[in-house]
Amino acid sequence: MKLFDLLIRILIDNSTRERFQQEGKEIKGFQGFLRVFPGHFHRLTLYNPLGLLAGVAFIASFYSPWWHATVDEGRISIDAFAFTLRHTVPPIGRVFIIETPLALSVFLLLGVLGYLFLVFWGSTMAGMKGRLYIVASGLLMLIYTAGFYGTLVYALYRIGGTLSEDFVVWTYGGMRPADIHTYFLPSYYWAIGAAAVCLLSALIHGLLPIRFYRSKKGSEKE
């Protein structure tokens, strides 16, 4: 019960709480938790369309690789997506590849869906609480892109390379050198930009709300 009460305090917006109190509805426990969601969409209003669009743009960047590497004049290629790899590295060189375990991939996918929920919930919530949701979403997205960068730094460090310049590794048991050329792709910068826009959109949260319901005055005129 305490868990559901905590979730209610986190998710409920002030207008929904006040309406439930006026109607005499209890907002405690599991039943109260279930009431939060339809209550939130009672008079659906989008208070931060820019933040929501930025969140969608961030997720959209996952469909393209964020980083690319070519080895040995393009004979081997590596595409790093947000949490998966696609490569043509032969078995002898896969000891240097950091594959994302399936369990971690599922966890990261759930985390990404969590970002989308945060930005959607915050975009449809008025006031400071909605603004905080947007700020948290933007910060988490930026942390994710930074974590991706850190993972690449570590992976290249294992083979004596860096992200700042091309380098050479010895292949086929140290018998022949191979050039490695690496670079970030536009989708990575797109993700960083989307995260930054989401974070900064908190400054204009609620400035241009979009209402998806008819007011009583509008209904009476019709």
Helices (H), 29-163: 29-40, 49-60, 102-123, 127-157
Which residues fall within 8 angstroms of residue 26, CB to CB, at 6 or more apart? 20, 32
Shared-domain flag, residues 36 and 70: no
Residue linked to tokens 């929501």: 52
Strand pairing partners for 168? Answer: 179
Query: Does an H or E element contain 190, and which?
Result: helix 186-200
Residue 38 and residue 126 in one domain = no
pLDDT digits (tens, 9 = 90+) for 64-107: 999 988 876 767 888 999 888 888 777 666 656 767 777 877 88
For residues 123 and 133, give the distance between their C-alpha atoms in angstroms, rounded to a whole number.
Answer: 8
Q: CA 209 to CA 61: how far, in whole Å?
A: 26
**pLDDT tens readout for residues 13-61:** 888 888 887 877 778 888 888 888 888 888 888 999 999 999 999 999 9
**178 and 94, same structural domain?**
yes
pLDDT confidence bin for 219, thresholds 50/70/90: very low
Q: Lowest mean pLDDT of 34-38, 93-97, 117-121, 174-178, name the range.
A: 174-178
Domain range for 35 is: 1-42
Determine, yes or no, domain membership for 47: no
Whole-angstrom Cα distance, residue 182 to residue 166? 7
CATH number of the domain bearing residue 117? 1.20.140
Query: Positive or negative, the Cα torsion across 87, 90, 91, 94?
Result: negative
172 and 99 in one domain? yes
- Of the candidates 85, 64, 60, 10, the one whose C-alpha atom is nearest the C-alpha of residue 198 is 60
Name 30's bridge partners.
Answer: none
User: What are the residues whose beta carbons fall under 8 Å from the beta carbon of 192, sequence distance 6 or more?
Assistant: 142, 145
What lies within 8 Å, CB to CB, of 60 at 6+ separation is none
Residues 106, 181, single domain; the answer is: yes
